[in-house]
Amino acid sequence: MLREFSFISVGDNGSVFEMHGLVQLATRNWLKSTGAMEKWKRRFIDILSTEFPSVEYENWRTCQRLFPHVRSAALQRPESRTDLREWASLLHEGARYAWRRGNTADMSKMATMAMKARNYLLGPEHEDSLNSAGIVGLTSILEGKWDQAEGLWSNLQKSCERVLGKEHSSTITSTANLAFAFWNLGRWQEAEVLGLQVLETRQKVLGPEHPETLTSMMNLAATIMSQGRWHEAKDLCLQILEARQKVLGSGHPDTLIAMSNLASIYCKLGRWSEAEKIEVSALEAQRQVLGLEHPDTLVTMCNLALTFREQGKLEESEALYLQALEITRRVLGAENPEVRIPMTNLAITYLRQGRLEEAETLQVQVLDMCNKVFKIKKDHPDILTYMFNLALTFQHQGRWEMAEELEMEVLETRKRVLGPEHPDTLATMANLAKTLRSSNRETDALVLMTECVHLRQQKLGPDHPDTKSASIVLHQWQEDGVHPYV
């Protein structure tokens, strides 16, 4: 009768059933009234735990089919301790799958429930409890709660090392995630020290081509890249990409991340056509493998938009950034830290298009969000980038005093935080020199630009586009009759 009224439908092979919500509600109420609810909770969790596989990429199709049932299981907490432990293990695996799929909401909910259950059953220093606490800590990083994440991971790393030993996989993972927290906080030297430690341990314990070893190498490459050591990062990324293609295959999500990261370095090195070719290929594959709304896909989309912009393809750049911004806001929320990436880069695209008011509006919004919502410290490298971009807009608007004030602050802070030879520091130096010249302080401008060209030649090489650009400006100024004092 229920099938005739479409309250229950049966799949073609007879093994899959769909049930109307009212029938589910009536069935649960009946089970409660007869005292059989716990029995069927136990059967449900037992079957689902057996069927839900490990979350490696090759199992994603099965995980995807069963994940709605894991969501349902999260609402069916059992009473007995034995069943509760199995339930916590199921939610832990569900949280890991949600993380791999970019679903931070379910990841946070399931990991927290698993952690609390395991703490209650096993104590907070049991290996299972520490692993679930690790997923909760990773959620804090992904949500932009970096200070909170640092404290959590620091304590977790010490607990794992004391309870499990230095070379245990959970200890190594907690050290890697502490390094990730440092990276997000802009503390790149500390992140590099820990990253090297993790890489050496994983190479020793797991071998040089193990996927986790290659992930450690990728994290280290990102840290090195952030410090402006682009050639070192490029060599590492080439090595990682080759190994991942060999071990995981060309279509694996981790291989596609390696492609996207290598393209980002090519863009930093001014090799934009090579970067575009890789990013177009990676983006198309990520759309098919991960979907358009996955964070990795959105990162590659923004990278490709930047590559378009640097090649003067401003309309293509704007369209991609607008798409990425809309998806990020819809999927992650308007106040998620990831929103900053398309917003600030869209502002630079507007600047290149001469849409100065729109650029300034976005840049002020980003800085305001960082201050009031994300609570990011003023000397964080990202904040300095946003301030630099706003100064650039002031420069294009002819608001020289405001541009100079902001650029002076950024330059001094970047020298202290990043070092005097970091590419971002040199970019600030070059733009400040242009501002000084526009304010009729030709001699000061020429001295600063001369120093910038010299440092760029040493740091980036004479053939890098940034070096060539600054050299052309310096030569033009010298031809105009202004020479630096010694």
- The domain that holds 391 is classified in CATH as 1.25.40.10
Cα separation, 225 vs 325, in Å, equals: 25
DSSP state of 185: T
Give residue 11's pLDDT band: very low, low, confident or very high (50, 70, 90). Answer: confident
Is 64 contained in some domain?
no
Percent of the chain whose predicted confidence (pLDDT) is above 70: 99
Q: What is the pLDDT of residues 29-57, one digit of tens each?
A: 999 999 999 999 999 999 999 999 999 99
The reported pLDDT for the residue numbered 486 is 31
Beta bridge partners of 19: 8
Closest by CA position to 321, among listed 334, 306, 336:
306
Cα separation, 186 vs 418, in Å, equals: 9
Is 375 contained in some domain?
no
CB 12 within 8 A of CB 22: no
Is 210 contained in some domain?
no
Is 12 contained in some domain?
yes
Closest by CA position to 121, among listed 163, 77, 76, 85:
85
CB 305 within 8 A of CB 317: yes
Q: How many distinct helices (H) and strands (E) make up the chain?
A: 22, 2
- Taken in order 60, 66, 69, 70, the sign of the CA dihedral is negative
Range scoring the smallest mean pLDDT among 88-92, 128-132, 373-377: 373-377
Neighbours of 104 (CB within 10 A): 20
Is 55 contained in some domain?
no
Q: What is the pLDDT of residues 290-345, one digit of tens each?
A: 999 999 999 999 999 999 999 999 999 999 999 999 999 999 888 888 999 999 99
Range of the domain at 1: 1-35
Letter string b/e over residues 349-377, b meaning 16 or more CB atoms within 10 A of that residue's CB: bbbbeebeebbbebbeebbebbeeebebe
Is 428 contained in some domain?
yes
Q: Average of pLDDT values for 257-281? A: 97
Cα separation, 343 vs 372, in Å, equals: 16
Rg for the chain, CA atoms, rounded: 26
Letter string b/e over residues 285-311, b meaning 16 or more CB atoms within 10 A of that residue's CB: bbeebbeebbbbbbbbbbbbbbbbbbe
Helix (H) or strand (E) holding 91: helix 81-100
Q: What is the DSSP string of 96-165?
A: HHHHHTT-HHHHHHHHHHHHHHHHHHH-TTSHHHHHHHHHHHHHHHHTT-HHHHHHHHHHHHHHHHHHH-
The reported pLDDT for the residue numbered 485 is 39
Q: Average of pLDDT values for 196-208? A: 96
What total of structural domains would you count in the chain?
A: 2
- φ, ψ of residue 78 to 5 degrees: the values are -80, 170
Letter string b/e over residues 46-56, b meaning 16 or more CB atoms within 10 A of that residue's CB: eebeeebeebe
Cα separation, 208 vs 295, in Å, equals: 27
Q: Average of pLDDT values for 84-93? A: 97
